[in-house]
Amino acid sequence: MTKKFKSYVLNLSGIFLIYIVIAALISAEMINKYYIGILVSIGINIIMTVSLNLTTGFLGELALG
């Protein structure tokens, strides 16, 4: 395996592990609704940041208005 592929696998497994831990904590009701709302806001901001990064970096478009 190449070094880049190992890095991708390590990142993907780390993200998956974090997702499993958060899902388990939510299903066990160890995280209250306030923190769930914060996690949802963080997730939405991550999605918007990645899409803006793809739009400006990969596609080369910067017409925001």
Query: Residue 37's pLDDT is what?
Result: 94
Which range is least confidently modeled, 8-12, 54-58, 61-65?
Answer: 61-65
Do 26 and 38 fall within a single domain?
A: no
- CA 52 from centroid of its chain's CA atoms: 14
Same domain, 42 and 27: no
pLDDT band at residue 56 under the 50/70/90 scheme: confident
pLDDT tens readout for residues 4-41:
888 989 999 999 999 999 999 989 989 899 999 999 99
Angle formed at CA 10 by CA 7 and CA 11, multiple of 5 degrees: 85
Q: What are the tokens at 22?
A: 């958060």
Domain of 56 in residue numbering reads as 32-65
> Does one domain contain both 50 and 60?
yes
Q: Are residues 55 and 41 in the same domain?
A: yes
Q: Which of 41-45, 46-50, 55-59, 61-65 has the lowest mean pLDDT?
A: 61-65
Split into its structural domains, the chain has a count of 2
Q: How many CB atoms lie within 10 A of CB 56?
A: 13
Same domain, 13 and 26: yes
- CA–CA distance, 8 with 17 (Å, rounded to integer): 14
